[in-house]
Amino acid sequence: MSAAAERSGNTPIEPDRLDPFSTPREVDRVFGHDAAAAEFESALRSGRMHHAWLLVGPEGVGKATLAYRFARTVLAHREAAEDAQDVPGEHPLFRKVAGLSHPNLLLIRRSWIEKTKRYSQWISVDEVRRLRAFLGNTAGEGTWRVVIVDRADELNQNAANALLKALEEPPPRTLFLLISNAEGRLPVTIRSRTRVLRVPGLDDEPLGQAVRAALDRDGVRADAKDLALALALSQGSERRALELVSSKGIDLYDQILETVAALPDLDGGALHKQAERLSGVNDTERLELYLALLLGLMERLIRFTATGEGATEAERKLAKRFVSKNNLAQWAEAWEALSEAKSEAFALNLDRSLLVLNAWFRLQHLTEEHPV
């Protein structure tokens, strides 16, 4: 059993948990976000703390880990805190936050539906209504109450409206930490009542530190070659790198690379089987990883052609075969179309196998009609 599993045996199920790794609230160190941490802590020390912060950035870069660190700092009353590890892992407060048992902390997220044995697609208004009782309780004198919404872009309309009311008239010393991968999906009314904190993708050094720390912490072994490739493909996302080394993600990437290398030829039978394997009810995370890897590959081919930077050695060979200054715009359009199709398919629960097939048919058409 992994270290994360041992620690989390009695805690609620995490909707976005990457098994077998620790959840963000169980992680006691943040890597590479010193500027964001300094901005938050400066506001806290100033005594003019904004009551709501919107942490925005790509998936898996450490937004939630940062939010829980902020929560611990505030709940510990460390208003002069400057160190990223101001509440160490062995501290009782750390353990309470990790177990979601601190009375002054509320986590709002998608709920587990026992009947279907699945998580709800959106954060419901009933989940947000838990705020009434939480904010109605009297906190101890001088203490804070912290509400974490993970992820805010998963609020349905009624839930967003309910949250907005709480943001408009919060009790004193209440802190809202909203986490979002897609700021544009949030209503303007909510965004306008928050202070936006940008959390960018990790640079190479802190990315490597974060990934190796996670592997060590949770007792997961990774082949050195696979780890190096995972870091190169992760685009600054710790989660993406961990997915690649822990869930046969490297094999998935190799399959994508081989399919691209064969273009404009496509093995129809193999492609349909692949699409079917990725489209099951329980295959959502693997499909998301597959599409993220395909989009990431396309992005690196485009960037390498435009700037001469980025991409692995194998990808550079593909870029020279398929992408040029003459068809760069068409590749960019294909990337944008696939990104939009992916978002639409997941939001509207459309046919996912068709999403995969259409992505490859578009690339086939692109390499046929716009050769280098």
Cβ contact 331:302 at 8 Å: yes
- Of the CA atoms within 13 Å of residue 325, those in its CB half-sphere come to 2
Give average pLDDT by consecutive 10-residue segment, the chain, 372 residues.
Answer: 42 74 94 95 90 96 97 76 63 94 95 83 94 81 87 96 95 95 93 97 97 97 95 94 92 96 95 92 87 95 95 95 95 96 86 95 91 72
Q: 318 φ, ψ to 5°?
A: -65, -40
Residue 192 pLDDT: 96
User: Is 123 strand, coil or helix?
Assistant: strand
Residue 140 pLDDT: 55
Cβ contact 123:153 at 8 Å: no
Cβ contact 292:243 at 8 Å: no
Looking at domain 3-198, does it have CATH number 3.40.50.300? yes
Cβ partners under 8 Å of residue 372, min gap 6: 320, 321, 322, 323, 324, 326, 327
Residue 5 pLDDT: 42
Give 88-107 as a DSSP string. -TTSHHHHHHHTT--TTEEE
The arrangement of strands across the sheet holding 52-56 comes to 105-108, 145-150, 174-180, 52-56, 195-198
Residue 102 pLDDT: 94
Instruction: Measure the CA–CA gap between 174 and 32, rounded to whole angstroms.
Output: 27
Residue 47 pLDDT: 84
Instruction: Measure the CA–CA gap between 333 and 336, rounded to whole angstroms.
Output: 5
Residue 137 pLDDT: 77
Instruction: Measure the CA–CA gap between 139 and 153, rounded to whole angstroms.
Output: 28
> Percentage helix, strand, coil, to 5, in the chain?
55, 10, 35
Residue 1 pLDDT: 37
